[in-house]
Copies of this chain bind each other. A is one copy, B any other.
């Protein structure tokens, strides 16, 4: 199991730089007042496909040797990684096979299709998903691109923090959400190499706190029936991301469901940007742990903006 080094991240950035949006950093005086700290939001909701996942997917697709690339890429996901991989593959002119449960929301199927991804349906169980993916890979020869337990994906996700730290100097803390840990791992590598004095904090829904339990115990813990509105964070750490998190991350703070929804609505209303619930977890965690952040300069990566605004839990 190879952990990415700083040079791997820099190579990834060179590879994808011209293919991804350089997203803006926003601030909001109302949020600074209420949180008691100065927050800089790196807006990856404005990234292509509406999420940072396009960075990792692009790096993984562009890293393939040509003979492998021609056979395409495959993954199982119904979320942002699926859409990101489909577009990254389309940009290289190769096929993307996306295994999705038949029950996935229409809007997610449409997103994958609109980027030219080929959807392969399975029944909505973990077993069906994995066996269907195996069959697709066997049939097509496509490369399986895991959403986060993947060297190249982590290197790609690490590039958002490069831009954040280039633009905003002297951050005391960077906070990112943790699900599978791809963004967290990449960000931690970048922050450690570019800004030694900056702490790296992960934010996780209390209702899906496997990373918190793994981090505190030092042993990779299984998820325990996670149930959170932050549906991008239902996944658990994997061996590769767990080892990076244990090495580089300073702490993990959890946030309650009501805090997450309130933080999301607050960002919608005051910053006039649309973010998904997972992207609100860092602000929710900050507001639940004000003492730690008080008076500090804090960077947050807004992970994505793909949300169903008609969801009755949010309004």
Residues of chain A touching chain B, judged by Cβ–Cβ distance below 8 Å, are: 24, 26, 45-46, 50, 268-269, 271-275, 305, 309-310, 315
Contact = CB atoms under 8 A, between A and B. Distances in A.
A309 B315 contact: yes
Contact of A310 (B24, B46, B315): B315
Given A272-B273, A274-B274, A309-B309, 16 more contacts: A24-B24, A45-B272, A46-B271, A46-B272, A50-B272, A268-B274, A268-B309, A269-B274, A269-B309, A272-B274, A272-B305, A273-B273, A273-B274, A309-B315, A310-B315, A315-B315
A20 to B, nearest CB: 13
| Integer count of this chain's copies in the complex | 2
A272 to B, nearest CB: 4
Contacts of A269: 274, 309
Would you list the 3 A-B pairs with minimal beta carbon distance, nearest first?
A: A272-B305, A310-B315, A272-B274
Contacts of A275: 272
Nearest to A46: B272
Nearest to A48: B29
Nearest to A47: B272
A45 B271 CA distance: 9
Nearest to A50: B272
21 contacts: A24-B24, A26-B46, A45-B272, A46-B271, A46-B272, A50-B272, A268-B274, A268-B309, A269-B274, A269-B309, A272-B273, A272-B274, A272-B275, A272-B305, A273-B273, A273-B274, A274-B274, A309-B309, A309-B315, A310-B315, A315-B315
